[in-house]
């Protein structure tokens, strides 16, 4: 993995189906696939006697994509609804990526392909594929949210899956959200780790995270955690799986758990670039 390639720099990441176009040439060292971090909502509007309905597509990936836009990372964003059918079924099909990030997308989206859900057919298990892709040398990361790790009402459903086997953390068997409206600040436990290089001083407050348990095995390191009075739960955990590296960031990439003040912090881009460099074995 870790192929060097030429990428056409534009204002943000490509979608999974969108080719690069226009702009200046920037050499990209690592290819990243961001899966998830989108949703749709339906609303009913009542105006006196009358009502009407609207449907809205939302993406929470904007802050992360902006932070990586002028970096060495060639990022492809695959929205959650596209991943249901669009995520490939083989390790070979993903071999061009150095890093895959799963962000706020539940296990069902990758388990219940329409051929399974609607037609009762068999398809390869993509959770096993992601596990095996990491074992073959890929960098697999999971980002916190309402549908990652175990998630709201346990609907993330990543516990006891092949992906959990690869991650450096164990998911809880129930709703794992930590909602902290008063905010908490990360406690860095390994200040010498490459992921926190250049991040001296106090970090901005976060408003939530998923509670996980760091695995008790060789190679697993808790780089940062929540404060003790918030349970001291892991915030950044690194590990290995086979020949690959794995990472858990248990908060979000943007609001609400990760407020705009954190996005605006100069360390936001530094942190994400550090995490991706580590996953891609660049540090």
Number of domains into which the chain is organized: 1
Tens of pLDDT, residue by residue over 34-48, are 999 999 999 999 999
Tens of pLDDT, residue by residue over 83-92, are 999 999 999 9
Q: What integer pLDDT is reported at residue 28 of this predicted model?
A: 77
pLDDT-based confidence at 6, cuts 50/70/90? Answer: very low
Question: For position 135, which CATH number holds?
Answer: 3.40.50.880
Instruction: Inform me whether the pLDDT recorded for 20 exceeds 80.
Output: no
Q: Which domain holds residue 269?
A: 5-279
Instruction: Inform me whether the pLDDT recorded for 108 exceeds 80.
Output: yes
Q: Terminal CA-to-CA distance of the chain, rounded, Å?
A: 15
DSSP letter for each residue of 208-253: EEE-EEE--STT-EEEEE--GGGT--EEEEEEEETTEEEEEE-S-S
Mean pLDDT value of segment 63-83: 98
């Amino acid at each position: 993995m870790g192929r060097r390639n030429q990428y056409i720099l534009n204002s943000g990441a490509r979608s999974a189906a969108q080719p690069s176009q226009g702009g200046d040439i920037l050499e990209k060292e690592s290819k990243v696939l961001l899966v998830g971090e989108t949703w749709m909502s339906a609303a009913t509007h009542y105006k006196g006697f009358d009502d009407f309905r609207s449907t809205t597509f939302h993406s929470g990936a904007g802050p992360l994509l902006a932070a990586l836009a002028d970096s060495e990372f060639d990022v492809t964003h695959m929205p959650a609804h596209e991943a249901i059918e669009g995520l490939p079924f083989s390790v070979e099909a993903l071999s061009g990526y150095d890093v895959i990030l799963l962000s706020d997308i539940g296990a069902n989206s990758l388990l219940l392909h329409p051929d399974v859900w609607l037609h009762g057919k068999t398809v390869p298990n993509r959770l096993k594929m992601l596990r095996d892709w990491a074992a073959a040398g890929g960098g697999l990361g999971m980002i916190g949210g309402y549908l990652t790790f175990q998630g709201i009402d346990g609907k993330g459903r990543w516990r006891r899956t092949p992906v959990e086997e690869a991650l450096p953390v164990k998911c809880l068997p129930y709703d794992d959200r930590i909602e902290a409206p008063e905010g908490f600040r990360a406690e860095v436990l390994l200040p010498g780790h490459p992921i926190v290089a250049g991040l001296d001083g106090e970090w901005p407050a976060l408003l939530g995270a998923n509670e996980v348990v760091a695995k008790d095995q060789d190679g697993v390191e808790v780089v940062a955690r929540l404060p003790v009075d918030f349970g001291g739960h892991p915030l950044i955990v690194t590990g290995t799986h086979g020949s690959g590296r794995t990472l858990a960031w248990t908060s979000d990439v943007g609001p609400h758990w990760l407020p705009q003040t954190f996005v605006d912090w100069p360390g936001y881009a530094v942190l994400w670039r550090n995490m991706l460099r580590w996953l891609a074995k660049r540090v």
